[in-house]
Structure 1
C-alpha cells in the first residue's frame, strides 16, 4: 500500500495523543485500519509547554500506528482547539464567471475566498471558513448553489480564527516529529459533524468534549455553529482527587479510576474492593468502589455545573431544546450519564464511534476528522485506486464470449 492510499489524523490531547489511520477506497469512502496512542508529555491544559517532550510523544504515537498497519506515515491532518479560537461572521460577493451563468465549483471557491477578506490582527490566523448560506441573485437559504443559474453569488460565512503562535507551535511539533502537515482541522467542528444530527443542530444543542485536561463546548442554533469555548478542566481533576483522597501516586490513581471508577454513589457497590499502596507507607489499604465513588461524584458534579454556567455566560439557554451531547475520554466512566442528567437535564446522551470497531469516546476526535475531511471533499481518490477499479469493472463486463472473440481475433 502506497502513502497515497491512506489518510492519517492526529489528536494531540493533554493526557493522550491518538493517531488514526484510514484507507481510502476507490469510491472515495474510508475505512479505519489502525490506531496509535501514547501518553502526552509536554502538554498542559491543551497547550504546548515543552516542545521536545511533545515531539517525542507524537513520534511514539505515530510509531505505534505504523507498527499496527505496516506502513510509514509521512503526512498527517492535525486537530486543533482551545480558548484561543474565536468565531467571526463574514460576507463574500462575486460575479458568476461562466458565459452561460451556471455556478460551478470555481465560483463557489472564489466566493469563499472573498469571505476570507476580513480585518485580522497580525497575531491571528484563519483556521476554517464555514458557509452558513449561499445567496444567488437575492435568493437566500441555499445550501449548495452548484449548477444553479445566476449572475451574483454571495455567501454568509462563519470564520474560525486562532492565535497564530498556538497554531504554529503545534505545527512545529508535528514537523519536528518528521511529519508533514497536510492540513489543520478545527476539532470541535469535526466532532460536531460526526456526533450531531440535523435535528439537534436545528433545535439548538451543546456538544461537550471532555478530555484529560480540557473540556470543549460547541454550541449550535438554527442549524449553524453559534459559539465555541473551552474550560480548563478534565479527567485529570478526577485523577488528582483520587490521588489526594487515597494518598497514592497519580499513575496509580489513573489506573484505579479507569478500572474501578463509578461516577454515581447510587450505582456503586461495597462488594467490589481493591487495594491501594499509599505514599510513605509500605502497607496497602483496602478500598471499596462506593468509597471511590464518594470521591469521584462531587468532582464530576462540579464539572457539569461549570459547563452549564459557561453556556449561560455565553448567552445561550442552560437547557437547550436539542439537549447536551457528551463525548471524550471522561465519558467512559461508569454511570456518568446519570450524574449528567441530574445537572444538565434529561436531554443528555453520550456519543461514541460506531461501526468501526472502536467504541471508546476518547477516539472520537481523530475519527471525526476523517469523517469531516471526507464530507468536505478533501479526500482525493489516488490514481492507482481509480485505475484498479477501472480494471476490475472492465473485467466484470468482459464476458466469456468476448474473451473467445478477442482470442480468435489475434489469429485472424
Structure 2
C-alpha cells in the first residue's frame, strides 16, 4: 500500500494534539487506520504561545500514527478555530464560456474565484471557501450546475478567514515538524458535517465543542453554517478550580477530574479519594461527592456563556433542531443534564462511531479526515501515479481541491 493512499488530519488543541490517518478502500471510502495523540503545552486558549513546544507535540502525535500504519506521513490537513477565525458570505458572477452554453468545471472554478474577490483587512486571509448555492440565469437553489445550460452563473459562498499571523504560525509549526500543509479547514464546519444529521442542519442546530481551552459554537440552518464563535471557556478551567480547591498540582487535578469528577450531586461517586495536597504532611481522604462543589459552578458558568452567545447570534429561543455536544470536556457525568437545563432544549452527546476514535475528544480530528475526503479524496501528488485500480480515487477532483484549500 502506497503512503499516497493515506490521508492525515491534525487537530492542534490547547490540551492535546491529535493526528488521525485514514486509508481509502477500493470503493473510495475513508477508514481510520492510524491514531496519534500528544499533550499540548505550546498553546493557550487556542493560540500558539510556544513554537518549539507546539512543533514537539505535532511531531509526537504524527509519529505515533506513523508507527501504527508502518509508513511515513508527509502531508497533513490542519483544523483551525478559535477567536482568530470568522465567517463571511459573498457572491461571484461569471458568464458561461462554452459556445453551446453548457456549464463546465472550468466555469465553476471561475465563479468560485470570483466569489473570493472581496475586501478583507490586510491582517486577515482566506482559509477556504464552500459553495452555499448556485444561480443559473436567475434560477436559484441549484446544488450542482455542471451540465446545465445557461448564460450567467452565480455562486453564493461561505468564506472562512483567519488572522494571517495565526495561520502562518500554524503553517510554520507544521513545516518545522517536517510536514507539508495540504489544507486548512474550519473545525466548526467539518465537525458539524459529521456530528449533525441532515435534518438537524436543515432545521437549525447548534454544535457545541467544549475543548480544553476554548468552547466553539457552530450554528447550522438550512444546511449552511450560519454562525461560528469561540469563547475562552473550556475544561481546563474546571481542572484549575479543582487544583486550587484541593491544593494539588494541575496534572493530578486533571486525573482526579477524569476518574472521579461529576458535574452534579446525582452523578457523584461514593467513597473517598486519598489526596496529598501541596505542602501537606500526609494524605487526606476527600469524599468524591465534594468534587461537585468545585466542578458544578464552573460547568454552569460555561453554559451561561454559551446561552449568551446563542442569543447574540439571534437565537432568543433555542435552535429548532436542538444542540449537539461534543469535545473532551463533555464526558463529565451530569454535564448533559446541566446543558439541557441551561439551554432549555434537547441536547445529545456526539461520539465518533469508528473504533479507536469513539471518544468525543476525537470529533474534530475525525471530522477533518472525513470532510477532506468528501471534498476531494486526494491531494495533488508530486510522484508519478502507480498502476492499479485505487489511484483514480486520488486524482479525481484535483482542481476542486485547489480551489477549496488554496
Does TM, normalized by the shorter one, top 0.5?
yes
- Alpha-carbon distance in 1 for matches of 2:184, 2:267: 41
- Alpha-carbon distance in 2 for matches of 1:64, 1:164: 30
**What are the equivalent positions in structure 2 for 1:247-266 lying under 5 Å apart?**
247-266=247-266
- Alpha-carbon distance in 2 for matches of 1:174, 1:389: 26
User: How far did residue 378 of structure 1 move?
Assistant: 4.5
User: How far did residue 318 of structure 1 move?
Assistant: 4.5
User: How far did residue 84 of structure 1 move?
Assistant: 1.8
Report the equivalent of 1:74: 74
- Alpha-carbon distance in 1 for matches of 2:204, 2:167: 29
Report the equivalent of 2:116: 116
**What are the equivalent positions in structure 2 for 1:101-250 lying under 5 Å apart?**
101-250=101-250
SS in 2 for 1:169: helix
Distance 1:386 1:101, change over 3 A: farther
User: How far did residue 179 of structure 1 move?
Assistant: 0.8
User: How far did residue 267 of structure 1 move?
Assistant: 2.1
User: How far did residue 294 of structure 1 move?
Assistant: 2.1
Partners of 1:28 and 1:379 within 8 A in 2: no
Distance 1:388 1:139, change over 3 A: closer
Unaligned runs of 5+ in 1: 391-412
Give the TM-score normalised by structure 1.
0.91
- Alpha-carbon distance in 2 for matches of 1:132, 1:303: 32
- Paired residues in the alignment total 389
Deviations 1:70-116 (A, max 9, x none): 21111111111111211222111112222332222221111111100
Deviations 1:148-194 (A, max 9, x none): 12121101112111110010001001101111111111111000110
**What are the equivalent positions in structure 2 for 1:342-361 lying under 5 Å apart?**
342-361=341-360
- Alpha-carbon distance in 2 for matches of 1:54, 1:380: 25
Partners of 1:28 and 1:381 within 8 A in 2: no
Partners of 1:28 and 1:380 within 8 A in 2: no
The two structures, once aligned, show a CA RMSD in angstroms of 1.8
- Alpha-carbon distance in 1 for matches of 2:379, 2:185: 17
Report the equivalent of 1:340: 339
- Alpha-carbon distance in 2 for matches of 1:362, 1:241: 21
Distance 1:388 1:55, change over 3 A: closer
Distance 1:318 1:43, change over 3 A: farther
Deviations 1:7-49 (A, max 9, x none): 0011000000000011122322111001101000111000001
Of the structure 1 ranges 313-322 and 9-18, higher mean CA displacement relative to structure 2 is found in 313-322
Report the equivalent of 1:61: 61
Report the equivalent of 2:399: none
Partners of 1:25 and 1:385 within 8 A in 2: no
SS in 2 for 1:83: helix
Give the TM-score normalised by structure 2.
0.92
- Alpha-carbon distance in 1 for matches of 2:171, 2:207: 26
Report the equivalent of 2:326: 327
Report the equivalent of 2:395: none
Report the equivalent of 1:410: none
SS in 1 for 2:168: helix
Partners of 1:262 and 1:334 within 8 A in 2: yes
User: How far did residue 385 of structure 1 move?
Assistant: 7.3
- Alpha-carbon distance in 2 for matches of 1:381, 1:160: 22
- Alpha-carbon distance in 2 for matches of 1:75, 1:172: 14
SS in 1 for 2:82: coil
Report the equivalent of 1:275: 274
Unaligned runs of 5+ in 2: 393-406
User: How far did residue 303 of structure 1 move?
Assistant: 0.5
User: How far did residue 317 of structure 1 move?
Assistant: 3.0
Deviations 1:220-273 (A, max 9, x none): 22322111110001010000011111111100000011111111212223x232
User: How far did residue 68 of structure 1 move?
Assistant: 2.1
Structure with greater Cα Rg = 1
